[in-house]
Amino acid sequence: MIINDPVFKILGFGLSGAYKRNEVLAQNIANADTPGYKSYDVNFMSELKKILQEEQDNLPLKVTNPLHIKNTPTLSENFKVIKRNEGVYTNGNDVDPERENAMLLDNALYYESLLGSISKEFTIWMNVVSEGKK
């Protein structure tokens, strides 16, 4: 079943994390002129790496290629929003609009690449299903 496929679970987790990060970065940009505002971020990539490593260590499964996903991870989408605590400007906030926009663009590119990967996975599944009918 596609829903239980580990690739879809990981890609879905990445999409959810990128979406949440986009919200946080947009909030930072919106508050760039707010005195005393502190910028935030969502670091879901390190959480994903940690979870995948823990799952890999818990139950080693036989794989034929070291690049194969070893387990279906249990992924929680309760992303931690963290304060960055970087340099402070004269109005007391630490939002650098140029940096935030660059991070937003980077995140958007990551999100688009995940959508492309999901599209390719669906194409593979559709080919399997259509070829299975013959």
41: three-class secondary structure by DSSP: strand
User: Which pLDDT does position 109 carry in this prediction?
Assistant: 96
User: Which pLDDT does position 25 carry in this prediction?
Assistant: 94
User: Which pLDDT does position 73 carry in this prediction?
Assistant: 53
User: Which pLDDT does position 1 carry in this prediction?
Assistant: 43
Closest C-alpha to 79, from 21, 27, 22: 21
User: Which pLDDT does position 66 carry in this prediction?
Assistant: 66
131: three-class secondary structure by DSSP: helix
User: Which pLDDT does position 22 carry in this prediction?
Assistant: 94
Cβ contacts of 30 within 8 Å, gap of 6 or more: none
User: Which pLDDT does position 84 carry in this prediction?
Assistant: 79
User: Which pLDDT does position 119 carry in this prediction?
Assistant: 92
User: Which pLDDT does position 90 carry in this prediction?
Assistant: 73
Averages of pLDDT over runs of 10 residues in the chain (134 residues) are 69 89 94 90 80 62 63 62 76 88 95 93 84 67
